[in-house]
Amino acid sequence: MKKWIANGFALTALLAMASCSHGTWGDRTISSSKKRGDTYDYDQGPDKDSDLTYLFANTPNYRAFGSKVIGGKGEKFRWKFGPMWYRGRTGENEVKVFVIGQEGAQDENVSNRSFTGSTGTKMQKFLNHIGINQSYLFMNTFVYTITGQYSLFGEDAKNPTKVKQRDNLLWLAQNPDSIVVQHRHELFDTVVDQNKDLSLVIGVGTAGKDTAATYARHLGGKCSSSTVGRGGCFVKHNGKTIMFVGVPHPGGASPRNGGEDALKRLLGAFDKQAKTVLKAISSKKIKLSKDPGAKRASTSSKYKYGNASIPHMDFAFGTNWRMGEWGTTSNRRGSHTIQVFSKNGCYNNGAKEPNGRCSATKVDNIKYKNPVDKMTKAPKQMAKCDVPYESPKACTDAYMLYDHGPGFDFSELMLDWFHGIDWEAMGITQHMSFGPNGFYRGGLEDAEILVIADQFSHDDFFSGRAFTGEMGQRFQSFLDKSGKEYAIIRTLPVDSLDLSTAKRKEIINDKKVTEYRDALIEAVIEAGSVKQVIGVGEIAQDVAKKVAKDFGISYKGYSSSAVKKMSLTIIPRFDLPVHTRWWMGTSGDRAARGYRGSSSNPQYSGDYYKVYAPRWATKWKSGSMSSEEVKSYNAFKNQ
C-alpha cells in the first residue's frame, strides 16, 4: 500500500487517535487575538444519552397548545423551520453563566442554535466584558419563533382583542401550570443541577427578564421581573448563590423602536448592569471565575455596547461562517424560505452604494431557480409522533441518531485544506466569508466504503454535510442496500457549481488541492477498514480511481446519469448534525444560489444562498394535544 506524505504531515503519527475523540470545550481556549477561536472547532451537541437530549426531543406541541391558549386567527409560532433549543455548553460542569431570551429568528433557524443573530452577538460582547467567553449557555422563553410581539405598545395596548391575546400569551409563557413553562423548567433544572459553578442568570428583554424571574421563584427565590431588571436578585440553591439580572432587548433601540432616546436608555442600562454584575463578583456575593484566556473589565470600566463574534465552537461542524459573525446575516423570503448573505451581500438584497454600504432604498435584483419537490408526503422513516420541522422525537430511539461531527483530528485536516488554498485565485466565486461546506458525511473512523463525490447541489451549504441533495439521496439507496459503513468525501470543500466542467476539473486536479485532499483521504483509510473506493460524478471517478490504485483497494464508479436512475430515499439522521429538522436531507434539492440576469443566462452571485422547506412539510397539520397538554389547557380554562 502506498503511503502519502502530504503537506509535511506524517499522517500515521497524526492518526494515533484511537477513537478520534470529540473532546470537551475545556480542552480549548479562546484568546483575545482569536475572537472566534479555531476554525476547526465546533459544537458536537449534547451527549446522546443525556437528559438534555431527551428533553429537547420531548418539546411540547407548541402549535396546537399555542392556538388553543392564545386564540385569534392564524398561529402564534413560526414553525416551518422548527425550533432552536440552545447555544453553548451542554456537558456537566461546563456552564457558569446562563442567558435567557425570548425566542430566536431566521439566523437561529439556519444555524439551529439560539442567540446567533444580532441579539446574540451583542450578548456575546456583554459576556466577554465580564470575563466569560466559553462557559455559558443560551436558551429562550420559547423554543419557537413567535409572530408579533411579547408586549403591546401604542394603540395595540388599547385594543381589547389584542390585550386578551397578550394576556393569554403571558399565561402560556410564565404560568407554572403551562406545559411550556413546565418543560422549560425541566430544561433549566437540568442545566442548573449539572453545573455546580453556575452563579449568574441573565434575562434579555422583557420576556427574558420575566422568564428569569419565573425560574428564580421556581427555585424558591422572591424575585420579580422589575428586581431582575434593576439591581438583580439573589437566590440560594443547593448550597450556592445564583444572581438573576436583566438587560434590555437590543432590538428595542432600533430606529423603528424608539430611535436615539431609546438607544441612550439602552446604553445606560447595559453599562449599569455590567457594573452591577462585576461588583457582585468583586464583593464575592457570587463566585464567578473568569474563563481561561478571557479578560474581565474592572467595576469602574464603562461598557462599550456593540457586537462580538460568536466562537466557532458554538456551532455544529459545517455551519456556514456567516452565522454569528457580526449581527444578522440572513433574512426570511416568505414563511418557507430563508436567504443567507455574505459579508459582501446585504440584508433583504439591498443594493451596494458606491461607498460600499447597503442601500436602504435600492434593491439588488437577486433571483433563484427554485428547487422542485421530489416528495409529496412524509418519508416512511418518520415515526407517527414525529413532525417534519423538528428532529426525531423521543417516542423512538431515533432521537439519539445524529452525527457529533468528524472529531477534532479530522476537522483540523479539513480546515487545513480550506485554509491552504487561495480559492479565489483558483477561480472559485463563492464568497469566502461563508467558509467551507460539504467536506464529508458518514463515519470517518470505521468506513468500509469510501465514496469520493463531486458536488451536485447547494444543500451541503445548509445541511453541514456532503452529498445531501437529490443526488446524495438517490445514491443513499445504494449505500443502504450495501449494509456497510461508509464515509463520503467531496472533491472540493467550496461551491464550484457555477463553473464549467473543465474549470472544475482543473481546480480539483490542482497539485496543491490534491495534496490536501489526499491527506484527508489517507486519514480516513488509515482509521477504518476501507475495502472499496467509489467515485460518484465524472470528475470524482478519476480521483477515486487513483486513490484505489495507490492503496490497492477495489474501485467502482458511477456517473451522474447512473445515479439519477437510483431510487430516491432520505439521508439517514445519523449522518446529520444534532437538531437537523426532519425535512432536511429529503425531497430532493432544498437549496439554491442567487443569480442576476435571466434564467437562460444566469450570472451567479457568490453572495446569496437560499434554503427551502418542501411543500409537504409546510402543509403539516398541528395535530392534537397530548394528555399532559390537555391537562395544562384545562388549567388555563379553569383559572
DSSP H/E element including 592:
strand 591-597
Residue 164 has pLDDT above 80, yes or no: yes
- Mean model confidence pLDDT for the chain: 93
132/239 same-domain check = yes
CATH number, domain containing residue 527: 3.40.470.10
Q: Is residue 74 within 8 Å of 165, Cβ to Cβ?
A: no
Element (H, E) at 216: helix 205-218
249-299 per-position pLDDT tens digit = 987 766 555 667 888 899 999 999 999 999 999 999 999 999 999 999 999
Residue 3, pLDDT > 70, answer no
Q: For position 16, what pLDDT does the model report? A: 38
pLDDT computed for residue 31 by the predictor: 52
Three state DSSP letters for 474-500: HHHHHHHHHCCCEEEEECCCCCCCCCC
325 and 436 in a common domain: no
Please name which of 591, 603, 601 lies closest in space to residue 366, comparing C-alpha atoms.
603
pLDDT tens column, 378-431: 999 999 999 999 999 999 999 999 999 999 999 999 999 999 999 999 999 999
CA distance linking residue 572 with residue 67, whole number of Å: 32
Residue 632, pLDDT above cutoff 60: yes
- In a domain? residue 328: yes
Is residue 501 domain-resident? yes
Q: How far is Cα 104 from Cα 32, in angstroms, rounded to an integer?
A: 27
- Rounded CA separation 192/212 (Å): 13
Q: Domain end: 288, 317, 336, which one?
A: 336
Contact by Cβ (8 Å): 343, 433: yes
Q: What residues have CB less than 8 Å from 635, skipping those under 6 apart? A: 175, 177, 178
pLDDT digit string, tens, across residues 304-332: 999 999 999 999 999 999 999 988 999 99
Q: How far is CA 299 from the centre of its chain?
A: 34
Question: Residue 465 is part of which domain span?
Answer: 403-576
Q: What is the 3-state secondary structure (H, E, C) of 36-99?
A: CCCCCCCCCCCCCCCHHHHHHCCCCCHHHHHHHHHCCCCCCEECCCCCCCCEECCCCCCCCEEE
Shared domain check, 254 and 138: yes
Instruction: Give the C-alpha separation, 138 to 151, whole Å.
Output: 22
Q: Is 413 helix (H, G, I), strand (E, B) or coil?
A: helix
Q: How many Å apart are CA 458 and CA 145, to the nearest integer?
A: 26
Q: Which residues, 6 or more positions from 237, have their beta carbon under 8 angstroms from its beta carbon?
A: 192, 219, 220
Same domain, 443 and 540: yes
C-alpha cell at position 99:
442567558
Residue 367 has what DSSP assignment? Answer: B
Would you list the DSSP string of 107-138?
HHHHHTSSS-SHHHHHHHHHHHHBT-SSSEEE
320 and 430 in a single domain? The answer is no
Provide the grid cell at 317. 461542524
330-332 and 337-341 as β-strands: parallel, antiparallel, unpaired?
Answer: antiparallel
Cα dihedral: 15, 18, 19, 20 (round 10): -30
Residue with cell 430515499: 569
Within 10 angstroms of residue 478's Cβ, the number of other Cβ atoms is: 19
The pLDDT value given to residue 13: 34
Asked if residue 439 lies in contact with residue 403, where contact means CB atoms within 8 angstroms, the answer is no
Residue 528: the pLDDT is 85
Given a cut of 60, whether residue 156 has pLDDT beyond it is yes
Mean pLDDT on 503-517: 98
Angle at 375 between CA 615 and CA 559, to 5 degrees: 130
Nearest to 379 by CA among 564, 573, 563, 565: 573
In terms of pTM, does the model score above 0.85? yes
Decide if 494 is inside a domain.
yes
61-106 pLDDT per residue, tens: 999 999 999 987 888 899 999 999 999 999 999 999 999 999 888 9
For residue 1, is pLDDT > 50? no
| Residue 499 falls inside a structural domain | yes
Instruction: Examine the domain organization and report whether 94 and 240 are in the same domain.
Output: yes
Which pLDDT does position 149 carry in this prediction? 80
pLDDT(192) > 50 = yes
Cell for 492? Answer: 472540493
Distance separating the N- and C-terminal Cα atoms of the chain = 75
Is it the case that residue 4 has pLDDT exceeding 50?
no
Strands 337-341 and 602-612: antiparallel
Count of CB atoms situated within 10 Å of the CB of 138: 29
Answer yes or no: is 363 within a domain.
no
* 326 and 409 belong to one structural domain: no
Residue pair 312/419 in contact by the 8 Å Cβ criterion: no
Residues sharing a CB contact under 8 Å with residue 486, sequence separation 6 or more, in sequence order: 442, 443, 447, 448, 449, 450, 451, 479
Q: What is the pLDDT of residue 6?
A: 39
pLDDT of residue 104: 82
Reduced DSSP (H G I as helix, E B as strand, rest coil) percent helix, strand, coil of the chain, to 5: 35, 15, 50
From the number of C-beta atoms within 10 Å of its C-beta (0-12, 13-18, 19+), residue 244 rates as buried
Report residue 30's pLDDT band, with 50, 70 and 90 as the boundaries.
Answer: low
Closest CA to 491 of 444, 549, 450, 446: 450
User: Of 576, 598, 631, which residue constitutes the final position of a domain?
Assistant: 576
Look at residue 322 and give its three-state secondary structure.
coil
* % the chain with pLDDT above 90: 86
Q: How many domains does the chain have?
A: 2
**DSSP 8-state code for residue 370:** P
Percentage of residues in the chain with pLDDT exceeding 70?
94
Residue 152: is its pLDDT beyond 90?
no
Write out pLDDT tens, residues 484-503. 999 999 999 999 999 999 99
- Does residue 591 fall inside a structural domain? no
Of 283, 316, 336, the residue that ends a domain is: 336
Residue 387 forms part of a structural domain: no
Q: What is the C-alpha to C-alpha distance for residues 402 and 575, in angstroms, rounded to an integer?
A: 6
Amino acid letter, residue 342 = S
Same domain, residue pair 138 and 272? yes
Q: Give the cell for residue 41.
A: 472547532
Task: Answer for the pair 467, 475: CB distance below 8 angstroms, yes or no.
Answer: yes
Both 546 and 419 in a single domain? yes
Which amino acid makes up residue 495?
Answer: D
**467 in Cβ contact with 451 (< 8 Å):** yes
Mean pLDDT of 239-247: 96
Domain match, 71 and 202 both: yes
Is residue 278 domain-shared with residue 144, that is, in the same domain?
Answer: yes
Is 315 in the same domain as 412?
A: no
Q: How far is CA 405 from CA 266, 302, 448, 572, in A?
A: 39, 40, 19, 14
The answer to whether position 315 is within a domain reads: yes
* pLDDT exceeds 90 at position 27: no
d(CA 204, CA 363): 33
Residue 254 has what pLDDT? 62
